[in-house]
Amino acid sequence: MQTTSKSGNAFTNNPIVKAIGLQRIVVVLAVILEAVLFSILSPAFRQYATVVSILDYSYYISFMAIGVTFCLISGGNDLSVGTGMICYALAGGFLVQQMHMPVWVGLIVTIAMGLIFGVINGVMVAIMNLPPFIATLCTMLITRGFGSIITGGMAVSWPSRSSPDGWFRSMFKIINNGKIIPVGFLIVLLAILIMSIVLNKTKVGRYIIAIGSNKEAARLSGVNVIKYQMMAYIISGFFAGLAGIAYAATFSSSVAPGTGAGLELDAIGGAIIGGTSMTGGSGSIIGTLLGVFVMSLLKTGLPYVGLQANWQQIITGIVLIVAIYIDVLKNKHTA
Amino acid sequence: MGEVILTMKGIDKSFPGVHALDHVDLEVRKGEVHALMGENGAGKSTLMKVLTGIYSKDSGTITYEGREVEFHNPREAQEAGIVIVHQELNMMNHLTVAQNIFIGREFMKGKLIDDAKMNAEANKLFQQLGIDINPAEKMGNLTVGKQQMCEIAKAISHEAKVIIFDEPSAALTEAEIEELFKIIRDLRAKQLGIVYISHRMDEIKVITDRVTVMRDGGYVGTLITEQCTKDDIINMMVGRVIYEDPKTASTVPPGAPVVLKVEHLNAGKMVKDVSFELHKGEILGFSGLMGAGRTETARALFGADPKESGDIYINGTKVDIKSPQDAVKHGIGYLSEDRKRYGIVVGKTVAENSTMAHLKDFLSGVFIDKKKENDVTQKYVDRLKTKTPSVDQLVVNLSGGNQQKVVLAKWLVRNCDILIFDEPTRGIDVGAKSEIYHLMNELAAEGKSIIMISSEMTEILRMSDRIVVMCEGRKTAEIDIAEATQENIMHAATLR
Ligand SMILES: Nc1ncnc2c1ncn2[C@@H]1O[C@H](COP(=O)(O)OP(=O)(O)OP(=O)(O)O)[C@@H](O)[C@H]1O
Ligand SMILES: [Mg+2]
């Protein structure tokens, strides 16, 4: 049962390649390849507006994906982020639109709702020991229904950019004389930076990795596994709330109840493509961001080459299968 | 031996259907190594888990450093200075060595973890122990032996006053055991109290000062190691004397047909040009040091790992074994050395595990015949004396040695003609060991052929009719039992 260290080839042993990580290099190449491919296939793709559109998609997917990454690393999953995000944005928007509360209240409520459902998921997984996949599948249903109930089945419009309450939209996109500056990317980068530190340099992150790697060992080492497993879901809920805000702020259309299902797959897909393991214990936030770009490029690019919603779903499904298969192969090699 | 540091008195603990501890006593002094002995399922691990707060006791008292204590979780015990190196390794493979050692009490720089300091502190520990491990290495990349050393380093880093070793040597090589003993002697010199659990009688005489023996969850007695013999201890453990004499001559009838012939087998780095024959009714011992390529040979033969070249003949016919299914179809069974990984499904019951390899015999129509499954399982539970309240017990709740018996049952149910036993008695107590030996002899007498891979010299000399010795992936000797001695086997095992 000797574990011999695997001797890769010259490329994988190159110190620079090692430092960045082979997977991340591959993902960056995939993003570039995708962009080049779409540009060749569709002249219309080659414009600034496309970049803005890709970024628009990337904001809410990134936030969901950051949260989901923590759940995946802890050995679990969170399927409720997609419908959750819409539900929280509905609740916040409802207060603003129908109850005429200030926007900042709506924003706080959106995040608070995310936190509450994060706690609910955490309780089910960490305390009641429900399988994460099923537990969060149930919250996926619940948030979907709950969103409709709050608004009485009506779509909710957050204040438009031109209205005095529209300032929150400038957090993600500043429009100046028709020029669009996608500042939301800075917020995403900041979140990525902070959460990378949380994952790699704080107890929360360290214990979440430990639990995903070997829960019993973590417990016997005196780690409060219930608390930290819950933390993963609370983080995920918080970021689903942020995703709800990003969604409401970037898209001018109203937020419609009953939507959001399937969006969690963009996030989970991003995380897995970025190298986070489905079986827990390893993953990286920066990798997740790169993976998210693979997904948001797909979302933006496919319509340009004439592939509409149905095809997008098929292609997203195939991309996910490939990503998960790569994860399976990786685990086989390290086992 | 110094003053008493720890006293457990009248400890009682029941699980559903199992009275695991029945008024057990234990006393540990400073600067002693105290052996805790007993058959599989006697309750040794459970007693130590009660002590360290993993299980709560039903009754009894624990006095530590003069005060009565009760720990509610492992952390409280650690903080008080009682730490345990578990029987099953408890490592987080995705974290580094240093991160594993300091898990739960990281060095902080403000709100952030100070990994550099943790690496430095881990290095200090390793120096103190005289072992060479890179603290920044991922735990999953270390060998089992090195991981064990890390567990010990972790235990020591707690400023421990009492350290419990639960079968630390089961997965270690001879050299690593020497290293371990050196460390334990150092700790003893520093006046720590040490509890040492092992089934290896030789070790008990070498390293321990006193022995407490348990049987069936009860306390039998405590002896001073110097003043007793191995047989005294065994007698207390099993209530009878067991003799372990080496075999002097092969019991295979001359002219027994060759059932398995392996020619020029090559597989990966660890199997180089291995050829041998196995006769009907023969026990063929595979000896060698850890990493000699014995398990790899068995796995290649069994189709578990790909082979590059080589021919396999069963009863004279060339066969093509590409997967374990092929091997099983040709009547080969393989009992893995690593039962957790390959042998059993811990979350399933004894009955489910026992019939897993041969489920089609237990079907009536499309349904599993539960009664037949239970009856057959019960037969093997009785034959192997597996200690379990019922065949419906989850395997995860059995003691280590009894889990091994379930693996055995699984392949016996399968009724294979050729059985590969890879370290069949690892972690198994002397009584159960001799039962497994009896069973292997019976199987051989029935005409089954056995390949037995073993790192224990006494086991090789006691069981084998013929011995294949391997070193670094090559066969270096084939010795008939009549000519075999410890010396000529060891010589061949180190022949480069
Ligand atoms: N969590 C549990 N639930 C039910 N039964 C248990 C549990 N843990 C241990 N037991 C039972 O308690 C008894 C004592 O087990 P224990 O693990 O202490 O034995 P042991 O002396 O350490 O044996 P070994 O030498 O095989 O490791 C066994 O019969 C075992 O099946
Ligand atoms: Mg035990």
Nearest one of A281, A266, A279, A265 to A327, comparing CA atoms: A279
* Cα A216 to Cα B140: distance, rounded to the nearest angstrom: 16
Predicted confidence band of residue B177 (pLDDT cuts 50, 70, 90): confident
Q: CB distance from A223 to chain B under 8 Å?
A: yes
Considering Cα of B140, then A233, then A145, then A249, what sign does the dihedral take? Answer: negative
Query: Per-residue pLDDT tens for B204-219?
Result: 989 999 999 998 888 9
Give ion ligand 2 contacts, CB < 5 A: B 45, 87, 400
What ligand 1 atom has the least distance to the C-alpha of B47? 18
Contact between B480 and B447 (Cβ < 8 Å): no
Amino acid at B219: Y
Asked if A206's CB is within 8 angstroms of B143's CB, the reply is: no
Asked if A209's CB is within 8 angstroms of B106's CB, the reply is: no
* Cα B308 to Cα B266: distance, rounded to the nearest angstrom: 5
Mean per-residue pLDDT, B322-349: 79
How many residue pairs from chains A and B have C-beta atoms closer than 8 A? Answer: 75
Which residue's C-alpha comes closest to atom 6 of ligand 1?
Answer: B397
Lowest mean pLDDT among A77-86, A206-215, B395-404: B395-404
Q: Describe the crossing of helices A285-304 and A309-334 by its angle, rounded to 10 degrees.
A: 150
B24 ligand 1 Cβ < 6 A:
no
Mean per-residue pLDDT, B475-496: 86
What is the least distance, in Å, from the CA of A223 to any CA of chain B?
A: 5
Give A216's contacts in chain B (Cβ within 8 Å): 90
Is there a common fold for B4-238 and B258-493? Answer: yes
Q: Is pTM beyond 0.80 here?
A: no
* Cα A313 to Cα B403: distance, rounded to the nearest angstrom: 47
Residues 6+ apart with CB under 8 A from B318: B311, B312
* Cα B391 to Cα B387: distance, rounded to the nearest angstrom: 10
Residue of A100 and B362 predicted with greater confidence:
A100
Cβ-based neighbour number of residue A175 at 10 Å = 11
**Does residue B465 surpass a pLDDT of 70?**
yes
Q: How far apart are the first and last CA of chain B?
A: 44
Q: Describe the crossing of helices A48-73 and A81-97 by its angle, rounded to 10 degrees.
A: 120
- Ligand 1 centroid, distance to B15 Cα (angstroms): 9
Nearest one of B477, B487, B490, B445 to B463, comparing CA atoms: B445
Per the listing, tokens 């952030």 go with B112
Q: Which of B95, B141, B143 lies nearest to residue A213, judging by beta carbons?
A: B95
Predicted confidence band of residue B489 (pLDDT cuts 50, 70, 90): confident
B404 ligand 1 Cβ < 6 A:
no
* Cα B168 to Cα B175: distance, rounded to the nearest angstrom: 13
Residues of B with CB under 8 A from a CB of A: 54, 73-75, 78, 86, 90-95, 99, 103-106, 111-113, 115, 140-144, 171, 269, 290-291, 295, 337-338
pLDDT of residue B459: 87
B44 ligand 1 Cβ < 6 A:
yes
For residue B38, the ligand closest to its alpha carbon is 1
Domain B4-238 carries which CATH code?
A: 3.40.50.300
Q: Token pair of A192, please?
A: 């990525």
- Ligand 1 centroid, distance to B396 Cα (angstroms): 9
- In angstroms, how far is CA B413 from the centroid of its own chain? 22
SS3 of B242, please? coil
Give B106's contacts in chain A (Cβ within 8 Å): 203, 206
Number of residues that make up chain B: 496
Pocket test for ligand 1, best of B22, B399, B408 (most atoms within 8 A of CB): B399
Backbone angles phi, psi at B410, to 5 degrees: -55, -45
B390 ligand 1 Cβ < 6 A:
no
Lowest mean pLDDT among A75-79, B101-105, B272-276: B101-105
Mean per-residue pLDDT, A110-125: 98
B387 ligand 1 Cβ < 6 A:
yes
- Ligand 1 centroid, distance to B41 Cα (angstroms): 5
DSSP tag of A59: H
- Ligand 1 centroid, distance to B74 Cα (angstroms): 18
CA torsion B368→B371→B376→B378, rounded to 10°? 130
Give A131's contacts in chain B (Cβ within 8 Å): none
Contact between B312 and B356 (Cβ < 8 Å): no
Contact between A239 and A67 (Cβ < 8 Å): yes
Lowest mean pLDDT among A171-175, B299-303, B485-489: B485-489
What is the least distance, in Å, from the CA of B114 to any CA of chain A?
A: 8
Q: Token pair of B451, please?
A: 């390949």
What ligand 1 atom has the least distance to the C-alpha of B217? 14
Please say whether the structural domain A54-334 has been given the CATH code 1.10.8.
no
* Cα B447 to Cα B282: distance, rounded to the nearest angstrom: 8
Which of 3.40.640.10, 3.40.50.300, 3.40.50.150, 3.30.70.100 is the CATH number of B258-493?
A: 3.40.50.300
Predicted confidence band of residue A8 (pLDDT cuts 50, 70, 90): very low
Sorted by where each begins, the domain ranges of chain B are 4-238, 258-493
pLDDT of residue B486: 82
For residue B431, the ligand closest to its alpha carbon is 1
Q: What residues form DSSP beta bridges with B422?
A: B453
B398 ligand 1 Cβ < 6 A:
yes
SS3 of B277, please? strand
